[in-house]
């Protein structure tokens, strides 16, 4: 994808603050971080989203995230950590190259990454389950 900014960053054509790299992935600091240390796991090959990325590449991305998360806990002293992965503009994806957000969390960091719960009835939940399983 010649016009994809994350392809260019992942493959080193555009400089970034890289905190991890191997043959298949680059992990960079997000330019608009939610918190100190917010990073993005970028596959070097272009996949738009979760629907396109092969399962084994996704598994490798998870391994990279786990390694980086441990480093963040050790080096940044974060109190918690969110893994976030958006797919489609309806879900908040703005860069259409698969990426996994690693967001270190700190007590009272003022961020709001969790969702607002809704209250479906038990019948509605069963209907949703049946739609998924049907
Ligand atoms: P998403 O909304 O899941 O698509 O996330 C895109 C993320 O990429 C946002 O958190 C942006 O701050 C970040 N971002 C966009 N462009 C760059 C860039 N050139 N370098 C680093 N992070 C970027
Ligand atoms: Zn790309």
pLDDT at 114: 80
Split at pLDDT 50, 70, 90, the class of 65 is very high
Q: Which of 3, 20, 13 is nearest to 100 (CA)?
A: 20
Q: What secondary structure, in 3-state letters, does 86-124 show?
A: CCCHHHCCCCCCCCEEEEEECCCCCCCCCCCCCCCCHHH
Higher pLDDT, 55 or 115: 55
Catalytic residue positions, numbered? 99
What is the DSSP pairing of strand 80-84 with strand 100-105?
antiparallel
Q: Which of 40, 48, 50, 87 to mutate to test the pocket of ligand 1 (most atoms within 8 A of CB)?
A: 40
pLDDT tens digits along 31-61: 999 999 999 999 999 999 999 999 999 999 9
Is 80 exceeded by the pLDDT of residue 73? yes
Question: Which burial class, exposed, middle or buried, applies to 112 when counting CB atoms under 10 A from its CB (0-12, 13-18, 19+)?
Answer: exposed
Distance 39 CA to ligand 1 centre (A): 9
Mean per-residue pLDDT for 94-111? 97
**CB of 102 closer than 6 angstroms to any ligand 1 atom:** no
pLDDT tens digits along 5-17: 999 999 999 999 9
């Amino acid at each position: 994808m010649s016009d994809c900014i994350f392809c260019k960053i992942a493959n080193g054509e555009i400089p970034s603050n890289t905190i991890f790299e191997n043959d298949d992935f680059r992990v960079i600091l997000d330019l608009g971080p939610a918190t100190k240390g917010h990073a993005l796991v970028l596959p070097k090959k272009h996949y738009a989203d979760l629907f396109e990325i092969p399962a084994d590449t996704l598994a490798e991305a998870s391994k990279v995230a786990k390694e980086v998360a441990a480093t963040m806990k050790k080096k940044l002293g974060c109190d918690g950590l969110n893994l976030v992965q958006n797919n489609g503009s309806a879900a908040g994806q703005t860069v259409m190259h698969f990426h996994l957000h690693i967001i270190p969390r700190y007590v009272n960091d003022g961020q709001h990454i969790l969702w607002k719960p809704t209250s479906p009835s038990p019948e509605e939940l069963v209907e949703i389950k049946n739609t998924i399983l049907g």
